[in-house]
Amino acid sequence: MVSVKSVIAAGAAAFISTAACAADMALPPPPQLAYPVPVQASGWYLRGDIGVGMTDAFSLDYLPNPLNPPNNFAFQHSSMADTMFFNVGVGYELNNWLRFDVTGEYRAKTAVNAFGTYTYGGGAFGDAYQGNLSSWVALANGYVDLGTWWCVTPFVGAGIGGAYNTMNGLTDIGIGTSGTGIGRNSASWSPAWALYAGLTYNVTQSFKVDLTYRYLNYGSVTDTIDCTGGCNPDSYKFGNLSSQDIMLGVRFLLLPEPMPVMPLMSRG
């Protein structure tokens, strides 16, 4: 004889089984899809720039040798030609609006000219100077990207670092005298700083082109001229060296390897 407890247990099991099957039938199988996992930039990038530097006014100071007699020599004018430069660097994009990089730059030789006058024994005399300035510049930079419209991103930035400036082939030719002098090809490190403003064109997710304006101040260099007549050498400081730069550059973002395609399978 079948007990009441057995009948109730059998009925409950049959109800649970039927409910589970009904639940399975009520859920349609998901569609068969396959998609790649989105690739995100790692943040690191490589960069390179070429540009032209339009040199600003610079200071030129005469540093007389204390062993020479006092004189009233003064510079009347000075000038520096434009120059070409290139740089390379590595950086990191912290997020979509802030990035940092470090760059190393070579600025090619640019002609420097100056002319000064003095009086002596009732006569007026002059000196004409010619030389070439070249520089290595290292900067740590930070940039703020200001949003992107139609693949174009305006940005501003600033940098700080140092410059190794070299004065090559400086000569002094006396005007009204037979005196001449030759510089010592002196070089020295100076502090350097820069301000940036520009536009980035996002060609692809990992390749960007920058058009940048930069104001660069790269310090000073002092050279000493040994005169051929046997006089005591004087020195000359080329200071407050600065340039208005136009730069065209590229940036390559370092992307991780793409993940394999991940299929979504329906339940059987």
DSSP state of 146: -
CA distance 104 to 20: 69
- The residue with greater pLDDT, 45 or 14, is 45
264 pLDDT above the threshold of 90 = no
Q: At residue 104, what are phi and psi to the nearest 5 degrees?
A: -120, 135
pLDDT in tens, 102-135: 999 999 999 999 999 988 777 888 899 999 999 9
Confidence of residue 257 (pLDDT cuts 50, 70, 90): low
Quote the mean pLDDT of the chain. Answer: 83
User: Is 242:215 a contact under the CB 8 Å cutoff?
Assistant: yes
Q: In the prediction, which pLDDT does 42 show?
A: 57
- pTM of the shown model: 0.77
DSSP state of 73: -
27 pLDDT above the threshold of 60 = no
- The residue with greater pLDDT, 256 or 237, is 237
User: Is 48:209 a contact under the CB 8 Å cutoff?
Assistant: no
Q: To which residue do tokens 């980035």 refer?
A: 200
Domain 44-254 matching CATH 1.10.530.10: the answer reads: no
45 pLDDT above the threshold of 90 = yes
Of 4-18, 146-160, 184-198, the least confident: 4-18
Burial 23-44 (b: 16+ CB within 10 A, else e): eeeeeeeeeeeeeeeeeeeeee
- Domain chopping of the chain, boundaries: 44-254
User: Is 78:116 a contact under the CB 8 Å cutoff?
Assistant: no
- The residue with greater pLDDT, 217 or 29, is 217
pLDDT in tens, 126-181: 899 999 999 999 999 999 999 999 999 999 999 999 999 999 999 999 887 778 89
